[in-house]
Structure formats: C-alpha cells, structure tokens
C-alpha cells in the first residue's frame, strides 16, 4: 500500500518547521502531499526527493518566511487546515486557495479557534477560501471542538506549539491521533487525557535522528479489501496497512458484516501499529454501523456503501453530517450515484440506509465524481461486480491520494480501462 496520506502530510509539515533535516521513507507521492510540500517550500523549507527517500530541511529558529505568492493547496483539506494552524503562529501573512472542491469547504472551523488565539483572517462569505491568514503572537486557549475533526485538532495543536501558555483541545469523539504521535517523534510533548489534548507553547521541533517511516494507508487499502470481499474466488494479502485504532473502523464493520479479514504479521512502524490483511471473498450481510465508530472510518463510507449495496439486508449508518463537507457531499453523491446504478436506498439529513438483496446492483451508469478521489475509486470497485460496467466521469482526482490505484487493482485482476 502507498504511504498514509495523513502521516505523509504531517511528516513534511513538521520537518519543514523543525530544526535540522528530516528523512522520510514511504512518503505518499500523491498530489495532496505534493501541495503540502510546495507550500512549505514557498515558506522557506527545503523539501526534495533523494532516491527512495524524501529529505526535508526545516526553517528551525529562523522561522517561516513570508510566501512570495498565493499558496494553492489544490484538493487538499488537510493541507489547508493544518498549514493555517502553522502559519497562525508566525509573523507572516499568506493567501491560501484551492481547487473548485476545496474552495467550497468550511474553513471557519479553524478560523474560529485560531482567531481566539490571536490570528486574523479575511475570507469569502461563510468562511471559505481564498483566504488571507495573518499570523503573529498567539495566546493559549481551552477549546471545546464542536465537531470531531483531526484537522481542526491538529491546526490548534500546531498553533499551540507557538502560543503563550498551555493550549487544551477537547474533542466530542476521538479522531485520528497522528499529530499527537508525530509531535513526540519531533521531540515535543503533548498530553492526551481521555478526549482532551494539551500542548505547552514555546516548544521547538527537532528533526528525528532516525528516518521517519510512513506506514501504508488503511484508507487506500480499503478499496482492495472491499474488492476482494465482493469478487468471487478472491484471496489476497494487502501488505503494510496502518492499524492505528483511530483509523480501523471500516475493517471492524466489514468483519461485523461477515467479511473474512485476518490481521497477520502485526508490528509497529514509525510509532504506528501496522499489519498485513488477508482477505477472502465473503457473503456479506447488512449491519447498523455504531454512530461512535464514524470518526475511525470517516473516509471509508463511500466504499462501505458499495459493500452494503452488494450485501444481504439493510445497512444503516447515522451521524454522518461530516460526510457532507468532504471533497464532495459524500452522502448525496453516493446516494445519487448508487441509485443510478440500481441500488435501493434512503438518504436522510445525516444518514444513509441501503437495502441490499445479496446480489450486486445492475450498474451501467456514468457517475459524477465531483473532484472526489474516494467517490471515483469506490465506484470503480463497484463496477467490478455489477452486471453492466460502471463509468466515472472524471478519474483525475484519484491521483490526489492513490496514483497507483488503477495499475494495482488491474494487477489484482480487475479490468479498469
Ligand atoms: C484528516 C482528517 C479527516 C479526514 C481527512 C484527513 C487528517 O478530516 O477526513 O481525509 O489528516 O487529519 P476531518 O478532520 O475533517 O474529519
């Protein structure tokens, strides 16, 4: 599996502000991570590839420089939110923008807490990009996050690193904790107590002596795993899959559905649990997804809905309001597209109920991906089992997170043209 996108972003960002040179192995070379690299370069860090490794020399005590031009973060919400948190703590101004998907996504969720810390913003109506961030001296806050979001939590912690005092964030539900883990690897202390994380300001990041190794991305593995469960006769091993418990909700749900998935060769890589997944084709049954599991599979609902469309019985998932503000409105996009492929379902304001009858739907539709990589990949997996092929209108977004997707899936026996 290609490197984890969340961890890759953080390795480049942290390396870029640290003192010293960070070496990274297994970095995801997807467009989103390259957007992060370009932004950090524009503010004075050196980020380059050396053979199989990436080398990042940070600005350290010199601090980030004022970027000479607009930072274009493409399709990447993680770059936009985390880099805003980083810039907030430096005495620079930056204009940030993105593509037609990213400029529709909410930035107010980071502007509010960072504004309370002392950063200033100019943005489009409703808190969208293009936006100008005015960073500077920050003070610590104690902040209860209204949504479970690792991006918001991370933006606040990164600003908190440079604030006066100790910043505390409280989450409504646990979100991915890669920032907290990687801060430790760069020599900073942050303390997690239940759903609260605190960080003392004034700490410096130092490039780790050892190479930062990025484990494979469970959110990319999800597509191969679901394809193997659905396609008769499949028996595959997906190697090098990140098993951080804040990311494995999909695998738990698929097992609840009767999916034959075993975790083998469990190990720790770069401070993150990793395993290989053996997956065999299985007859799946519908389930109700526990609402509190949503954050640990937040990016995996599109491909879960594909599995549910082929399962026997009803699958129901609720509490999915965050899906409406991803790269596309994933609730509406999946509901429209699966309906076009012949799936019976009911879309609620925050929920989706899918009625499976144990056979894959008819397919045959051309579906709209709305610049959303996971919508494109989920439907290509669906097309492997439908009676008629499924066509996606635009596959370009796949390169944001999984450039090798088509090659890899075709090597496994799929037929994506
Ligand atoms: C991410 C956090 C999640 C996730 C995104 C990556 C991260 O977003 O959907 O793909 O790397 O922190 P939210 O923080 O908006 O839930």
Residues 6 or more apart from 407 whose CB is under 8 A from it? none
> 170 C-alpha vs ligand 1 centroid, how far in Å?
16
- Ligand 1 pocket: which of 35, 36, 83, 298 to mutate (most atoms <8 Å of CB)? 298
> 330 C-alpha vs ligand 1 centroid, how far in Å?
14
Among protein residues, the one with the nearest Cα to ligand 1's atom 10 is 299
Among protein residues, the one with the nearest Cα to ligand 1's atom 4 is 299
Which string of DSSP letters, residue by residue, matches 279-341?
Answer: EE----B--EEPGGGGGGGTTTHHHHHHHHHHSEEEEEE---GGGGGSSS-HHHHHHHHHHHT
pTM exceeding 0.85: yes
- Active-site residue, 112 included: no
Q: Give burial (CB, 10 Å; 0-12/13-18/19+) of 93.
A: middle
Mean pLDDT for back-to-back runs of 10 residues, the chain (417 residues): 98 98 98 98 98 97 97 98 98 98 98 98 96 98 97 98 98 98 97 98 97 98 98 98 98 98 96 96 98 97 98 98 98 98 98 97 98 98 98 98 98 97
Site residues for ligand 1, CB cut-off 6 Å: 6, 78, 149-151, 154, 176, 298-299, 322
Pick the catalytic residue from 99, 177, 276, 299: 299
| CA 115 to chain CA centroid, nearest Å | 24
Question: What's the confidence (pLDDT) of residue 270?
Answer: 85
Decide if 30 contacts 5 (C-beta within 8 A): yes
Q: Compute the residue count for the chain.
A: 417
> 152 C-alpha vs ligand 1 centroid, how far in Å?
9
> 228 C-alpha vs ligand 1 centroid, how far in Å?
26
Closest C-alpha to 323, from 333, 337, 308: 333
Q: Give burial (CB, 10 Å; 0-12/13-18/19+) of 206.
A: middle
Decide if 32 contacts 5 (C-beta within 8 A): yes
Nearest atom (ligand 1) to Cα of 219: 10
Question: What's the confidence (pLDDT) of residue 170?
Answer: 98
């Amino acid at each position: 599996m290609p490197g984890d996108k969340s961890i890759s972003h953080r390795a480049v960002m942290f390396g870029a502000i640290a003192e010293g040179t960070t070496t990274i192995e297994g970095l995801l070379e997807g467009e989103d991570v390259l957007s992060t690299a370009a932004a950090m370069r524009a503010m004075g860090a050196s980020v380059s590839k050396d053979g199989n490794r990436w080398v990042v020399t940070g600005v350290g005590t010199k601090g980030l420089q004022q970027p000479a031009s607009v930072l274009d973060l493409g399709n990447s919400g993680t770059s936009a939110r985390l880099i805003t948190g980083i810039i907030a703590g430096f005495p620079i101004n930056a204009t940030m923008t993105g593509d037609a998907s990213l400029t529709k996504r909410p930035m107010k969720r980071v502007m509010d807490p960072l504004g309370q810390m002392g950063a200033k913003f100019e943005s489009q109506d409703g808190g969208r990009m293009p936006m100008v961030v005015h960073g500077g001296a920050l003070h610590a806050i104690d902040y209860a996050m209204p949504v479970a979001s690792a991006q918001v939590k991370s933006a606040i912690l990164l600003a908190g690193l440079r604030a006066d005092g100790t910043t505390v964030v409280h989450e409504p539900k646990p979100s991915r904790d890669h920032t907290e883990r990687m801060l430790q690897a760069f020599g900073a202390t942050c303390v997690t107590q239940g759903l609260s994380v605190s960080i003392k300001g004034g700490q410096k990041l130092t490039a780790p002596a050892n190479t930062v190794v990025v484990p494979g991305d469970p959110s990319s593995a999800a597509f191969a795993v679901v394809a193997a469960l659905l396609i008769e006769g499949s028996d595959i091993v997906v190697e090098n899959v990140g098993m951080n418990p804040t990311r494995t909700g999909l695998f738990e749900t698929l097992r609840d559905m009767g999916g034959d998935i075993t975790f083998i060769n469990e190990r720790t890589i770069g401070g993150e649990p990793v395993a290989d997944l053996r997956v065999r084709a299985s007859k799946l049954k519908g389930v109700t997804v526990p609402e509190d599991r949503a954050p640990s599979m937040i990016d995996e609902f599109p491909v879960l809905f594909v599995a549910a469309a082929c399962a026997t019985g009803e699958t129901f998932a609720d509490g999915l309001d965050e899906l409406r503000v991803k790269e596309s409105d994933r609730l509406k996009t999946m509901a429209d597209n699966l309906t076009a492929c012949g799936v019976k379902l009911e879309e609620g304001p925050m929920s989706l109920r899918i009625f499976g009858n144990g056979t894959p739907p008819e397919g045959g539709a051309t579906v709209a991906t709305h610049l959303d990589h996971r919508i494109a990949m989920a439907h290509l997996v669906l097309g492997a089992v439908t009676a008629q092929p499924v066509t996606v209108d635009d596959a370009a977004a796949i390169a944001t997170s999984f450039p090798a997707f088509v090659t890899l899936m075709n090597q496994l026996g799929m037929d994506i043209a």
